[in-house]
Amino acid sequence: MSECTQEVRDFDALLVRLFDEPPAFADSEAFVASVIQRLDRRWQVRSLVIGVTGLLGGFVAVSQIMANNLVGKVEVLSVGAKPHLLSQLIQSVETHLVLPSLPFGGEGLWMSAGLAGLALVFALTRAIEEY
Amino acid sequence: MTTISARSPHQRLEGRHDTDLAVLAAAGGREAFGELIRRHGSAVRGLLRRMGAAPDLADDVAQDAFLLAFEQIADFRGEGAFAGWLKRIAIRLYIRRWKRDRRLDLMAQTPEPEAADANPGDGAAAGRMDLDAALCHLSPAERACVSLCYGGGLSHAEAAEALNVPLGTVKSHIKRGLERLKDRMAPQGGLSVPTSSGQMPTLGRQTHV
């Protein structure tokens, strides 16, 4: 009886050992490359989706802000504040930058600059993660 | 003059433990994850083939398993072996695919004619020790259950849950599968298992049937 149990255990041990030995595949490196390629492709698609979504979101946000004249409203609210920082900044930009061909005012310029800054930060973060 | 060491990622990472590589991979390190694929790719592919998957399907599922593992690698806390965690992901994906293709009906599985006609006396001892060849003589259900428990490290209860069949069914498939494997693999006059340490490997929460 104990011999039989021992034999079962021995066979179990043999099976575990054999299952632990992975078969050798001639195309192991190709398999690794294939998985990494799929990972890269997935990441590229994801980056593209994030970028496009961010761009669309930024566009919508800017258009909404401009349509509601938010900057103008903030200016009105802060009329009592000293100094009128925002208006001074906008005035300064308008004074020093001559952009008569642009279809929007100073607030649009600032929003664009802000979005560009965010995009730059995102790109830098990705670059740091990658390298 | 400065000499720049041009070691490949594999050379730089080959000494690192799986858990360290998993931590690096969780931080976005794809080179570290590449090293994990290099280490465990064959084991996962081999397990899936031993479970009965065709080579193309096994490779496809193995790739999906690695991609999913990369997505979920933050969930790996290093409490068990990375290989075990990875194998469970692969097993889950394979069984899902199997069920989707309606090929998994363990209750209706019957041994294949080839297995019924098996002649354990054929072949040399070395041939009989070939696990992969011996597994081919098991029914799909027996093969899956034996591979899940012995190759995937699942307990009988976990295998039953994974396959969505009663525990007793898994136990009987394993019992029959082991008997057939033994007939195929054991040399004439009994089984001799070379042991290096004299210690019996454990099978997790597995119980003998």
pLDDT in tens, A86-101: 667 667 666 666 555 5
A11, B178: Cβ pair inside 8 Å?
yes
The set of residues, in sequence order, having a beta carbon less than 8 Å from that of B183 and lying 6+ positions away, is: B118, B120
A14, B185: Cβ pair inside 8 Å?
yes
Distance CA B54, CA B28 (A): 32
Predicted-complex ipTM score: 0.70
CA-based nearest residue to B69, from B86, B44, B50: B86
A8, B208: Cβ pair inside 8 Å?
yes
Residues B39-49 pLDDT 10s:
999 999 999 99
Alpha-carbon distances, residue B78 vs B17, B22, B62, B81, B91 (angstroms): 10, 8, 21, 7, 19
State whether residue A30 sits within 8 Å of chain B by CB. no
Least confident window among A41-45, A49-53, A116-120, A126-130: A126-130
A16, B28: Cβ pair inside 8 Å?
no
Residues of B in contact with A25 (CB under 8 A): 41-42, 45-46
Could you tell me which chain B residue has the CA closest to the CA of A25?
B42
Distance CA B101, CA B182 (A): 31
* pLDDT < 50 regions, chain B: 1-4, 106-107, 109-128, 189-209
